[in-house]
């Protein structure tokens, strides 16, 4: 396994798949005739909202935790996270029997904080900025000796996240396009590694909220552009694109598709009504991107990663339709 700050390769994705196999689910691929018709394409949904802790994040966290030597692991792990990565790292640490510390920003989704606590992590609260999160995480590391596992720039995390696409492309090697959400870029970068090795003719698209479009601006400039304040319902996609992630995505020729929140919430309702699946906005954005950029995907076989399903249940009335919908198709 490469050092946390070294770019991973496809071999690391394969190693991660073997390492996490005893602990992570192989998630199903879902289909919907009615959504195929709406998109004018053949859609294959990788159901990572059915992964442990309800998100793909368990893959990368599990790989990071189980790649540690015993004497290092005994000191525990630490991270900063708005929710899903924190819950994933906490569960992976609990499975291995080691401590886990998670720095959480004020204003994080309560359902995600509850999941972190249920998994047995020690919470450390901070101001809702990336700088505050990283400073607090550094203090925790200094105080405890824990190994910091960054939510998306850690090579072990990137390799682990790539196992979702590895499974998808192994089952469906003829996909023409892959669409994944873009926040910090851990899932996207891992997907790029798997796609380039298994389906080099496939095209990678990154669905990003218009209110957190540092990825789109970074690709347009050819350099990272973090001068923005995120404003989006997609709480899991508010992180800034990581440098190693950006490098891997550039090498893969990925394209960013920005989507406004109204389109994302409409897609969330479509997934709920036609597929009977509850996903979070950060996950539904992939379908929103396919529908918003319909011409790019018309007639093609498209893989979409439904990245997570940790919704705040109290928010459901505002997100889901009130009228009774038809049966799943």
At 23 the pLDDT is 98
CA angle 178/205/45 to nearest 5° reads: 35
At 321 the pLDDT is 56
Quote the mean pLDDT of the chain: 93
137-155 pLDDT, tens digit each: 999 999 999 999 999 999 9
At 315 the pLDDT is 73
Q: Name the percent of the chain lying above pLDDT 70.
A: 96
Run of H or E including 45:
strand 42-47
Confidence band (pLDDT; 50, 70, 90) for 328?
low
207-260 pLDDT, tens digit each: 999 999 999 999 999 999 988 888 999 988 988 999 999 999 999 999 999 999
At 168 the pLDDT is 98
184-204 pLDDT, tens digit each: 999 999 999 999 999 999 999
Confidence band (pLDDT; 50, 70, 90) for 324?
very low
Q: Residue 327 above 70 pLDDT?
A: no
Q: Are 293 and 324 in contact (CB under 8 A)?
A: no
Q: Name the percent of the chain lying above pLDDT 90.
A: 80
Q: Which of 109, 25, 24, 26 is nearest to 65 (CA)?
A: 24
Establish how many alpha carbons lie within 13 A of residue 141's alpha carbon, considering only the half-sphere containing its beta carbon: 14
Q: Which of 56, 33, 86 is nearest to 280 (CA)?
A: 56
Would the pTM count as exceeding 0.85? Answer: yes
Q: Residue 66 above 90 pLDDT?
A: yes
**Residues forming beta bridges with residue 209, ordered by sequence position:** 259
Confidence band (pLDDT; 50, 70, 90) for 115?
confident
* Residue with the two structure tokens 């550094």: 138
Arithmetic mean of pLDDT, 160-172: 98
268-323 pLDDT, tens digit each: 999 999 999 999 999 999 999 999 999 999 999 999 999 999 887 777 777 765 54
């Amino acid at each position: 396994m490469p050092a946390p700050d070294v770019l991973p390769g496809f071999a690391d994705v394969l190693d991660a798949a073997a390492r996490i196999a005893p602990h992570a689910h192989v998630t199903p691929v879902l289909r919907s005739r009615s959504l195929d018709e709406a998109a004018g394409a053949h859609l294959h949904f990788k159901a990572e909202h059915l992964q442990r802790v309800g998100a793909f994040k368990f893959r990368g966290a599990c790989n990071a935790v189980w790649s540690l030597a015993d004497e290092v692991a005994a000191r525990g792990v630490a991270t900063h996270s708005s929710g899903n990565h924190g819950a994933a790292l906490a569960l992976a640490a609990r499975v291995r029997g080691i401590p886990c510390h998670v720095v959480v920003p004020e204003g994080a989704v309560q359902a995600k904080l509850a999941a972190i606590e249920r998994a047995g992590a020690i919470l450390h609260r901070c101001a809702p900025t990336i700088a505050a999160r990283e400073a607090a995480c550094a203090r925790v590391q200094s105080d405890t000796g824990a190994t910091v596992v960054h939510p998306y720039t850690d090579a072990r995390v990137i390799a682990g996240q790539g196992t979702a696409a590895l499974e998808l492309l192994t089952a469906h090697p003829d996909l023409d396009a892959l669409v994944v959400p873009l926040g910090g870029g851990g899932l996207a970068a891992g997907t790029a590694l798997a796609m380039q090795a298994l389906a080099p003719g496939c095209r990678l698209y990154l669905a990003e909220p218009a209110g957190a479009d540092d990825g789109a601006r970074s690709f347009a400039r050819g350099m990272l552009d973090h001068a923005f304040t995120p404003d989006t319902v997609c709480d899991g996609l508010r992180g800034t694109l990581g440098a190693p992630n950006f490098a891997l995505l550039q090498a893969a020729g990925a394209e960013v598709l920005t989507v406004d929140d109204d389109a994302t919430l409409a897609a969330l309702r479509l997934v709920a009504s036609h597929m009977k699946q509850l996903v979070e906005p950060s996950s539904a954005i992939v379908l929103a991107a396919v529908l918003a950029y319909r011409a790019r995907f018309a007639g093609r076989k498209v893989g979409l990663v439904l990245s997570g399903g940790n919704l705040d249940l109290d928010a459901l009335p505002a997100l889901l339709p009130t009228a009774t919908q038809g049966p799943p198709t």
